[in-house]
């Protein structure tokens, strides 16, 4: 075959590959502007867009590795999420729960790391099929250290050389050896990990609804995180794809620091650890730390802030995670606070880390959807500076504001009775006010409220005030619009 004929054959093969990608519904384009998949919103980089439209990601699910589910159990759960207004799930490539299966083929009493358990990958494919069909965004975590970090899990896992026929006995003594391959440049051992990720990417890169995260609650080195981020980005580029990657550490601040230190590798931040009592904060402290992190991110250019885990479950069950009431408040603070996503963490018995997709979660997803139908949140900014308390101790008057000053204002009030003053900041005489009762999923009738001006235009401290007093002790949102 001549060189010219060889080039012609290669060109035909390349065209066939591109056509097969297109038929499967995923993006193949040389121009990121043509990409219709999940990516940062062009007009506001704090947020995502999908299929050319901005998308606020909200959700909850009863497991963090839904790909291990099959058939009606999976589809019913995804349908329930969509019916509640959700569009966002977490998926760790985890295999430690009852009923989970491993990626590798078992021959007798040992696993072969060079052969696949096809059912495992079929489950993964089906999961991505079903989420893609429903326009659900998947935040995909490649590695979950808790699959092998306990002695019980390590003892039975295929990655343990004692359980597979592919590696020499003692190659990895425990999970720490598994996660040291990059730092130690252990090429042979790393090749098995690469083979697994290559197989995963051969499937996931066929879909445009996937965001990538390297590790779950990583305690690994920065080298490990960076290596795999570069690896999957290179693989995506070679197939004509663009992917968006982050890392998740046990400290929200460290996760942000790592992204800011490697802006050429990572594309968004995940600050989930701010959403639990032991690693983040509750009440005003949760909001204040969110604003602190947002300020740091803004200093080098906005990127989406995701919360794929909002901790908190049945009151008193897990003091590290926090209460379910606090989880609900965190969910609302995240979105009001300018985050791109907020998802309720899975319930985990007996420790109850999260609330999953229970009825209370469904109600709050629906209520958020109702608010976002009216509020142009992409034009808004967190603005608690517009509030002043009606009591001496501000901390007992909780309220959280996002606003497009001069146009729209939304104030979230947790459960309780609150009375605060809002300054619309612009010179306006009247605003239209409606209350969203979150529990009953009802809007109040609109009412016109007048701005009370303190002093005159020429006085020091001249300001406008609208007094907002919650209509009940139930959680609610005050939604205001300037009346022209």
Tens-digit pLDDT profile for residues 7-31 = 333 433 333 333 333 333 333 333 4
pLDDT band (50, 70, 90) for residue 104? very high
What is the mean predicted confidence (pLDDT) over 179-205? 97
CATH class of 34-374: alpha beta
Instruction: Give CATH for domain 381-482.
Output: 2.60.40
User: Are 338 and 46 a contacting pair, CB within 8 Å?
Assistant: yes
CA–CA distance, 65 with 219 (Å, rounded to integer)? 20
CB contact at 8 A, 423 and 465: yes
**Which tens digits make up the pLDDT trace of 426-440?**
988 999 999 999 999
pLDDT at 455: 73
Report, as an integer, the average pLDDT of 387-409.
83
**Tally of helices (H runs) and strands (E runs) in the chain:** 11, 24
Q: Residue ranges per domain, the chain?
A: 34-374, 381-482
Strand bridging mode 452-454 / 442-443: unpaired
pTM surpassing 0.85?
A: yes
Cα(312)–Cα(330) distance, rounded to whole angstroms?
9
Of the candidates 368, 342, 367, the residue with the CA atom closest to the CA atom of residue 355: 342
Which residues, 6 or more positions from 131, have their beta carbon under 8 angstroms from its beta carbon?
Answer: 78, 89, 137, 138, 209
pLDDT for residue 464: 86
Cβ–Cβ contacts within 10 Å for residue 375, how many? 23
**Measured between alpha carbons, how far is residue 465 from residues 232, 422, 427, 449 in Å?**
52, 5, 11, 10
Report whether 320 contacts 277 (CB < 8 A): yes
**What is the pLDDT averaged over residues 68-85?**
97
Query: Higher model confidence: residue 157 or residue 461?
Result: 157
343 contacts 328 by C-beta, under 8 angstroms: no
283-316: per-residue pLDDT in tens?
999 999 999 999 999 998 899 999 999 999 987 6
* DSSP code for 218: B
pLDDT of residue 396: 65
- What confidence score (pLDDT) does residue 460 get? 67
pLDDT score of 221 more than 60: yes
Q: State the CB neighbour count (10 A cutoff) for residue 343.
A: 32
Predicted pLDDT at 9: 37
Please determine, for residue 348, whether its predicted confidence score (pLDDT) is greater than 90: no
Report in angstroms the alpha-carbon separations of 315 from 4, 293, 310, 321, 324. 71, 28, 15, 10, 6
Q: What is the DSSP string of 291-324?
A: HHHHHHHHTT----EE-S-B--BSTTS-TTT-BH
End-to-end CA distance of the chain: 75
- Give one word for 52, left, alpha or beta, with left for phi > 0 and alpha for psi -120 to 50: left
Q: How far apart are CA 263 and CA 404, in angstroms?
A: 29
Question: What whole-number distance in Å separates Cα of residue 103 and Cα of residue 42?
Answer: 37
Q: What is the band of 390 on the pLDDT scale with cuts at 50, 70, 90?
A: low
Within 13 Å and on the Cβ side, how many CA atoms surround 239? 24
Question: Are the beta carbons of 463 and 456 closer than 8 angstroms?
Answer: no
Q: Which residue, 229, 44, 210, 48, is CA-closest to 131? A: 210
Beta bridge partners of 197: none
Asked if the model's pLDDT at residue 274 lies above 90, the reply is yes
Partner residues linked to 55 by β-bridges: 48
pLDDT in tens, 331-343: 999 999 999 999 9
pLDDT higher than 90, residue 80? yes
Closest of 280, 274, 464, 479 to residue 380, by C-alpha: 479
Asked if residue 213 lies in contact with residue 308, where contact means CB atoms within 8 angstroms, the answer is yes
């Amino acid at each position: 075959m001549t060189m010219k004929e060889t080039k012609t054959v290669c060109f035909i093969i390349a065209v066939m590959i591109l056509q097969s990608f297109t038929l499967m519904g995923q993006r193949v384009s040389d121009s990121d502007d043509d990409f219709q998949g999940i990516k940062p919103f062009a007009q506001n980089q704090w947020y995502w867009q999908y299929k050319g439209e901005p998308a606020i990601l909200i959700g909850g699910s009863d497991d963090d590795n839904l790909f291990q589910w099959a058939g009606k159990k999976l589809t019913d759960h995804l349908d329930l999420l969509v019916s509640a207004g959700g569009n966002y799930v977490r998926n760790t490539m985890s295999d430690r729960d009852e009923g989970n299966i491993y990626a590798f083929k078992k021959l007798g009493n040992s696993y072969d790391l060079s052969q696949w358990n096809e059912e495992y990958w079929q489950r993964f494919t089906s999961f991505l099929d079903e989420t893609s069909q429903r326009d659900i965004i998947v935040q995909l975590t490649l590695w979950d250290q808790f699959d092998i970090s306990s002695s019980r899990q390590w003892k039975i896992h295929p990655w343990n050389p004692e359980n597979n026929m592919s590696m020499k006995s003692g190659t990895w003594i425990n999970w720490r050896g598994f996660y040291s391959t990059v730092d130690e440049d252990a090429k042979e051992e790393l090749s098995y990990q690469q083979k697994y990720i290559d197989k995963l990417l051969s499937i996931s890169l066929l879909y445009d609804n996937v965001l990538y995260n390297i590790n779950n609650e990583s305690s690994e080195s920065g080298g490990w995180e960076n290596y795999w981020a570069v690896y999957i980005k290179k693989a995506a580029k070679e197939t004509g794809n663009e992917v968006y990657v982050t890392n998740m550490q046990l400290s929200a601040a460290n996760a942000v620091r790592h992204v800011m230190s490697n802006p050429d590798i990572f594309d968004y931040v995940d600050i989930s650890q701010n959403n639990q009592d032991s690693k983040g904060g509750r009440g005003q402290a949760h909001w204040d730390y969110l604003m602190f992190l947002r300020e740091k991110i803004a200093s080098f250019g906005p990127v989406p802030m995701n919360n794929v885990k909002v901790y908190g479950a049945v009151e008193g069950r897990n003091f590290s995670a926090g209460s379910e009431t606090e989880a609900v408040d965190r969910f609302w603070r995240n979105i009001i606070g300018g985050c791109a996503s907020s998802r309720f963490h899975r319930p985990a018995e007996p420790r109850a880390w999260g609330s999953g997709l229970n009825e209370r979660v469904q109600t709050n997803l629906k209520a958020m959807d109702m608010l976002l139908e009216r509020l142009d949140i992409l034009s808004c900014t967190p603005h608690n500076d517009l509030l002043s308390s009606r009591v001496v101790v501000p901390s007992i008057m909780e309220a959280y504001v996002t606003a497009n000053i001069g146009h729209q204002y939304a104030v979230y009030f947790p459960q309780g009775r609150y009375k605060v003053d809002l300054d619309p900041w612009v010179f306006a005489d009247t605003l239209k006010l409606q209350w969203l009762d979150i529990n009953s999923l009802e809007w109040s009738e609109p009412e016109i409220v007048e701005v009370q001006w303190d002093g005159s235009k020429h006085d020091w401290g001249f300001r406008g005030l609208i007094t907002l007093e919650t209509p009940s002790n139930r959680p609610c949102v005050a939604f205001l619009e300037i009346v022209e």
